[in-house]
Structure formats: C-alpha cells, structure tokens
Amino acid sequence: MNPKDFKIGIIGGGQLGKMLIQEAKKMDFSVLVLDPSPNAPAFKIADEYIVADFFNQDKIRELVEKCDVTTFEIENIDTEILSVLEQAGNKIYPSPGLLEKIKDKSKQKEMMTNNNIPTSLWERISDLNDTAERLGLPFVQKSCCGGYDGRGVFVIKSKEDFKKALGGKTFGEKFVDFEKELAVIVARNSQGEVKSFPVVEMAFDHNENICDMIIAPATVDKAIKEKAKQLAIRCIELFEGVGVFGIEMFLTKEGDVFINEIAARVHNSGHYTIESCMTSQFEQHIRAICGLPLGATDLIVPSVVINILGKEDQYGHPFYDGMNKALKIPGVNLHIYGKDYIKPYRKMGHVTIVDKDINKAIEKSNKVKETLFALSEEVDNVG
C-alpha cells in the first residue's frame, strides 16, 4: 500500500483529531477532517477539511464517500447516517452500531449488565425518590448523552439536592467509595488482534470534577493491574470493537475492579503513550482502523500527564506564560493544541513529564503546574 493514496476521514477536529493526524502523517496517510469550527486545531495539519456540524448528514456522507476508512474523535455525532453509509459498504471504525450504544451512557451500562461486565448498580431515572430508595444516598446522577469532563455528572447527597438535579434523560448509579480510579487503553484491529496498554491511575480535582493527573503506570499491585487489563480486553472482544477504546475503572477498597465508563475513541488517559510507550494510542488507532498489525505497547519510561486548562476568568486569544521555565525541567514534553480561544477550564494542552522515577515525575509535574499557565492576551495578567 502507498499510504499517500489511502485517505482517512476523521469526524472531529479537536486535539484528539490533531494528535491522530500527527501519527497518520508519520506514515504519510492522507487525512480529511470534519468539524463545525473553522479554526479547529486539526484543520491546520489535515490535507483537506470540511466545516460542518456533526449532524450534517450531507457533509458526513461527503466525507465518508471520499475516504477509504472513516473514524471519529468525538462520540456525539450522527450515528444514523453513519449506519446507512456502513451498510452501503463504507468502512467506518469503531462501527456506528457500537458507537450508538456507547455514546448513550445508559445503553452502555445496559450492555455491560447484559454481558456480566462488572459495573456499579444503576437504573434509569423516572422518579428521584424511587431511585434514592433503591440505590441509597448518596447516589450519582448522570446525563445519558452529551456529558463530558464531569459535566453531566451530579452527586445527589440528600433529598435537598433533588432541586438541583440534572434535567433531560438521566440515570442513577450507586455511589462507589473507590480507592483509586484506573484507566486502560485497549485496541483491536479489523482482523481481531487485541493489545492493551499499561494500566494508569487517574487523580481527580474533585472541585472541578476533571482529571488532574495521569500517573503511568498506576501504583497498584500487579494482580490489580492484571485484573484491569483482562477486563478491558474482555470488553473490547465482547463488543467486537475496532479501533482504540479508553476504559475508565474504579478500584474499590476491597480490591475489586469495575468499569465506570467506556469511550469509543482515543482518550485523555492515553496521552502518556506518545512519550512513554513503544507505540502511541494515536498510532495504534490508525493501525487498527487501517487493518495493519498493532504495535507493541510496552512502557519505555514512566510518566505523569497534566492538563493545561484555561485559568479562571480568562476569555480571549490564548498565550502561554512560563513556557521557558517549564521547558527547562528535564523530561517535560509540551503539547499545545492550538485552540484559538481560551475559556476557564478549557483543555488548551497537556504536559507529559517522563522520569525513570515516577515520584520525581510527580514532583516535576507540581513544579510545571506552578510555572505554566494558559492565559488570555486580552487581560493584563502577565505573571
């Protein structure tokens, strides 16, 4: 094959799309991207792009029909037209049928329950009182669709919180008093070959409900890692997923591992693979959807990943304060996504800090957090 003559379509042109293209370009594939924003980060490095909404059926058809294979980096897209196009013989990975189930978190939970995959007890909500009765308080209310980075997740601690409950289609989940949150990136290609990446630990900022730090590898027993790995592999095999999947898990105080949620795409918890593993999650996804052999996933060096989030009160054209200082720290790898507008807590980039000693990597990541800031040029706030 000459990759230049093989066109990959990507629905979604955010940072995940951009990093997918960076890896696709390593092998000289051609890439066509669709995104509603004319300034989408991935457009800067794509061969071609289409500015269109994720539910614009005509434009999605145009993209799929122009490409040899189509994938996506966002789940909230039109699966109806994708199913029609798949039935007409177009290659779309992961399959639209699977995406349809995964993008609705309640259908995802149903799929896990039906396949005996361990996950917390749950039910669709019609009456909050009834759900509270059955799941107990506190319980977690989640939006079925469209939630991300903690939006669409609300912990109901008492009946007082019913007033603040989420609107729309939601479900309730038993509150898990977890010890740690883990994640596994797992890939399967169209021939059925499966490979998982090392298990990582996700540390959360519970004020913002956003993942604050990824520690790779997770600091848990070998037996726990093996349990998490086997669970991730079982999921992707059962669902016959093709591509890379990000699987978030809870580790309970009793040493049980169960699944919180599955993402049918490359995932934030797998960014560390770019510098830390023999193959990155992005290259693995390209290999998987193109029917190529999967790459080795061994860890080369431990690392910590932190997000660069828009600082509070910052709106406007972004600039990055403290780059010089941060880049002087050995092992710092800076990824700036190229978003043209900063908003509080928007993911503007990430930093991967590699170090043979994971504790040193954590120390260094704290230094980076005190040094590097995403700010708006429109405000006089040079630190």
Residues 6+ apart with CB under 8 A from 250: 120, 176, 178, 180, 181, 182, 257, 258, 259, 260
Site residues (CB under 6 A) for ligand ADP, limited to 185-204 = 204
**Residue 150 vs 217, nearer CB to ligand ADP:** 150
In the complex, what is the shortest distance from the CB of residue 377 to ligand ADP, in angstroms, rounded to a whole number? 30
Residue with tokens 């990597």: 361
The whole-angstrom separation of Cα 344 and Cα 350 is: 15
**Residue 179 vs 321, nearer CB to ligand ADP:** 179
In the complex, what is the shortest distance from the CB of residue 150 to ligand ADP, in angstroms, rounded to a whole number? 5
| Secondary structure of residue 269 in the 3-state scheme | helix
Site residues (CB under 6 A) for ligand ADP, limited to 238-267 = 248, 260-261
**Residue 62 vs 123, nearer CB to ligand ADP:** 123
**Residue 102 vs 290, nearer CB to ligand ADP:** 102
**Residue 189 vs 268, nearer CB to ligand ADP:** 268
Of the candidates 181, 201, 283, 355, which one interacts with ligand ADP according to CB under 6 A?
181
CB 221 within 8 Å of CB 179: no
Instruction: Decide if residue 280 touches ligand ADP (CB under 6 A).
Output: no
Q: Binding string, 117-156, against ligand ADP, x = CB under 6 A?
A: ---x-------------------x-x----xxxx-xx---
Q: Which residue is nearest to ligand ADP (CB)?
A: 176
Contact region for ligand ADP (CB under 6 A) — 123-131, 168-176, 302-310, 364-372?
Answer: 168-176
Torsion of CA 187, 104, 337, 70, to 10 degrees: 60
Q: What is the CA radius of gyration of the chain?
A: 21
In the complex, what is the shortest distance from the CB of residue 60 to ligand ADP, in angstroms, rounded to a whole number? 24
Burial (0-12, 13-18, 19+ Cβ within 10 Å), 170:
buried
Contact region for ligand ADP (CB under 6 A) — 24-32, 91-99, 172-180, 358-366?
Answer: 172-180
Of the candidates 86, 173, 283, 355, which one interacts with ligand ADP according to CB under 6 A?
173
**Residue 165 vs 323, nearer CB to ligand ADP:** 165
CB 30 within 8 Å of CB 47: yes
Instruction: Decide if residue 355 touches ligand ADP (CB under 6 A).
Output: no
DSSP string over 277-319: BSS-HHHHHHHHHTTPPPPP--BSS-EEEEEEEBPTT--BSEE
- Give the phi and the psi of residue 85 in degrees, each rounded to 5: -70, -35
CA-CA-CA-CA torsion sign (120, 148, 338, 312): negative
Residues 6+ apart with CB under 8 A from 90: 64, 65, 67, 70
- Quick count: other Cβ atoms within 10 Å of Cβ 247? 25
In the complex, what is the shortest distance from the CB of residue 158 to ligand ADP, in angstroms, rounded to a whole number? 16
In the complex, what is the shortest distance from the CB of residue 252 to ligand ADP, in angstroms, rounded to a whole number? 10
| Secondary structure of residue 85 in the 3-state scheme | helix
Instruction: Decide if residue 345 touches ligand ADP (CB under 6 A).
Output: no
Q: Which residues bind ligand ADP (CB under 6 A)?
A: 120, 140, 142, 147-150, 152-153, 173, 175-176, 181, 204, 209, 248, 260-261
